[in-house]
């Protein structure tokens, strides 16, 4: 009987440790986000954003790889879970365009959290949706 109780206690301890490791993802904004942005539902561009919340502010990069661009300005309003970030990216002519993204974080505690919103570049406007990579 004593062995069964010790075995059960050991199993419960292991399960609680495994669950606590799985549950610790960090801040809801921190991570890699994948999705797209565009002016219409048919005309979309891939978008990958890596964001980090350091306890005071947001930093990040857009489209990691050879075309990586650093996020110039980023803010989070955690009372409304709204996100704002700006980035300069090269256009097809090689000049820099300034993009502004404003979105809302949804499903904050879920694994399938998203940021959806609008973007502008000069007078061009559209929408975007990115989902956090697990």
Domain ranges, ordered by start, for the chain: 27-132
Q: Check residues 134 and 40 and name the one with the higher pLDDT.
A: 40
Q: What percentage of the chain has pLDDT greater than the value 70?
A: 81
pTM given for the model? 0.78
Q: What is the pLDDT of residue 91?
A: 85
Mean pLDDT confidence for 37-64: 92
Give which of 51, 49, 84 is closest to 68, Cα–Cα.
49
For residue 7, give the 3-state DSSP assignment: helix
**CATH level 3 topology of 27-132:** Lipocalin (2.40.128)
Checking if the pLDDT of 2 tops 50, the result is yes
Residue 66 to residue 129: CA distance in whole angstroms: 23
Checking if the pLDDT of 90 tops 90, the result is no
| pLDDT (tens digit per residue) in 13-44 | 454 444 433 444 578 889 999 999 999 999 99
For residue 4, give the 3-state DSSP assignment: helix
Q: What is the pLDDT of residue 39?
A: 96
Q: What is the pLDDT of residue 16?
A: 45
Q: What is the pLDDT of residue 27?
A: 82
């Amino acid at each position: 009987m004593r062995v069964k109780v010790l075995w059960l206690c050991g199993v419960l301890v292991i399960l609680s440790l495994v669950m606590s490791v799985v549950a610790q993802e960090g801040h809801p904004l921190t991570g890699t986000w994948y999705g797209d942005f565009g002016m219409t539902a048919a005309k979309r561009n891939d978008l990958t954003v890596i964001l980090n919340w350091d306890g005071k502010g947001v930093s990040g990069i857009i489209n990691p790889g050879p075309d990586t661009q650093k996020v110039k300005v980023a803010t989070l309003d955690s009372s409304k879970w709204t996100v704002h970030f700006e980035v300069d990216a090269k256009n097809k002519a090689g000049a820099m365009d300034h993009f502004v993204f404003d979105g809302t974080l949804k499903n904050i505690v879920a694994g399938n959290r998203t940021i959806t919103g609008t973007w502008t570049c000069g007078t061009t406007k559209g929408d975007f949706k990115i989902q956090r990579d697990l």
